[in-house]
């Protein structure tokens, strides 16, 4: 699992290689996105960092996400190219 600092370094590299105005689609999930809801639908923060890390690690390791994104890219390219 990456940290925000590592993500910043990667983004800085991408900007250096592709330029600041290069288009991008991004999906970033952080510990603020790992929440549960109580019976009244109020957000309940998960305070155990280990649980948050495990959840985000499992999200990151899910190939379905990458496959779905690539399928969408392929479909869009078929329509415009």
Domain ranges within the chain, ordered by starting residue: 23-80
Quick: pLDDT tens for 1-29.
889 999 999 999 999 999 999 999 999 99
Sign of CA dihedral 5, 59, 74, 72: negative
Whole-structure pTM value? 0.74
Alpha carbon distance 14, 17 (integer Å): 5
Collapsing DSSP states into helix, strand and coil, what is residue 66? helix
Q: Strands of the chain (E only): list them.
A: 35-37, 43-45
In the prediction, which pLDDT does 59 show?
92
């Amino acid at each position: 699992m990456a940290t925000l600092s590592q993500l910043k370094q990667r983004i800085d590299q991408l900007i250096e290689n592709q330029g600041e105005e290069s288009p991008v689609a991004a999906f970033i999930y952080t510990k603020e996105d790992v929440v549960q809801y109580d019976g009244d639908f109020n957000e309940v923060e998960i305070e155990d960092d280990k649980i948050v890390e495990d959840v985000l690690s499992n999200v990151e390791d899910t190939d379905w996400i990458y496959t779905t994104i690539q399928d969408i890219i392929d479909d869009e390219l078929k329509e415009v190219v």
